[in-house]
Amino acid sequence: MYNDETIEETSPLRDEVEKHIRKLIKPLKEEDELKAILKVKLTKKEFKVLNNWAYNKEVEPLLEKLSIDEERYGELSLKLIKKLNQERLKQEIMI
């Protein structure tokens, strides 16, 4: 049985999603279930950006890997945050 601290430490993706959602009514699903839903609902680039944020990785290698510049990264980030705040998606990722 896990206590809350253990769950928090092992779910960086969930913590990151929670940071960007303005109004979170219910708790989010477990990490692996959340990851599966987000992989389907987000574009590959959006998912990689979110993963990058969750694991506090450097931005430069990601920009090279995705072949995008800083401006496109900014646009992608805004679009990603908007998607995370859509009611339909929030309902899917909450318990």
Please give the structure tokens belonging to residue 4. 């809350």
Task: Provide the pLDDT for residue 9.
Answer: 52
Contact 68, 45 (CB under 8 A): yes
Task: Provide the pLDDT for residue 42.
Answer: 98
Task: Provide the pLDDT for residue 43.
Answer: 97
Mean pLDDT, contiguous 10-residue spans, the chain (95 residues):
47 95 94 96 97 96 96 97 96 95
Give the global pTM.
0.86
Backbone φ and ψ for 31, nearest 5 degrees, come out as: -50, -50
